[in-house]
Amino acid sequence: MIEIFTTGGTIDKVYFDALSEYQVGPSAVAAILRDNNVHAPHRVTQLMRKDSLELTDDDRAAICQAVAASEAARILVTHGTDTMVETARALAGIEGKTVVLTGALQPATLKHSDAEFNIGFALAAAQTLSPGVYVAMNGQVLDPSRTRKDREAGRFVAD
């Protein structure tokens, strides 16, 4: 069983026409897994609905607590990309679990989003990697202790 915790971020942003802006909406993960005929045993739990720039130390502590308390040994966390590495580093002290963080640079609701690929890739990574904490974005599995988001290039890179 893979435990999937959702926290919000761009992956879950939806366009509210009346406001002319994007806001974090309900998690897209369950629909993406269903629509792509994914049968790997999993459970989706929404922890929060926040842009990652709005996450606090208390939010990160809640994410860490949920991951540590989960009975699952394999965990996927969807997260906003701006502070994903920071949260991954906070999770590093949890032993005996494979924890993979992923997100999207474009909302899942957009046609050219990287959300579906990243979720599928991260789900595979969570099933096959040894225990530890990883960032899985755009076809790469990265060590969060040596990773950063390159905003200009629109991807994550190893330092």
pLDDT higher than 80, residue 17? no
Tell me the whole-structure pTM to 2 decimals: 0.92
pLDDT 10s digits, 86-145: 999 999 999 999 999 999 998 888 888 999 999 999 999 999 999 999 999 989 999 999
pLDDT at 70 (0 to 100): 98
- pLDDT at 2 (0 to 100): 97
d(CA 53, CA 18): 23
| Cβ pair 109, 130 in contact under 8 A | no
Residue 52 sits in a domain whose CATH number is: 3.40.50.1170
Q: Tell me whether residue 7 is one of the annotated catalytic residues.
A: no
Q: Is the confidence at residue 16, as pLDDT, over 80?
A: no
Q: Is the four-CA dihedral 145, 128, 65, 155 of positive or negative sign? A: positive
Give the pLDDT mean for 58-78: 98
pLDDT in tens, 27-46: 889 989 999 999 999 999 99
Q: Collect all residues with Cβ–Cβ distance below 8 Å to 21 and sequence separation of at least 6.
A: 15
Residue 14 near residue 25, CB atoms below 8 Å = yes
Expressed as residue numbers, the domain containing 17 is 2-158
Sign of the alpha-carbon dihedral angle for 150, 151, 154, 156: positive
**Separation CA 56–CA 60 (nearest Å):** 6
Which pLDDT belongs to residue 27? Answer: 83
- Catalytic choice (6, 7, 10, 83): 10
Which pLDDT score is estimated for 87? 98
Please tell me the predicted confidence (pLDDT) of residue 20.
57
Say what the pLDDT of residue 101 is.
Answer: 98
Q: What is the pLDDT of residues 52-63, one digit of tens each?
A: 999 999 999 999
At residue 129, the 3 state secondary structure works out as coil
Query: For the chain, how many structural domains are there in total?
Result: 1
The kind and range of the H/E element at 93 are none
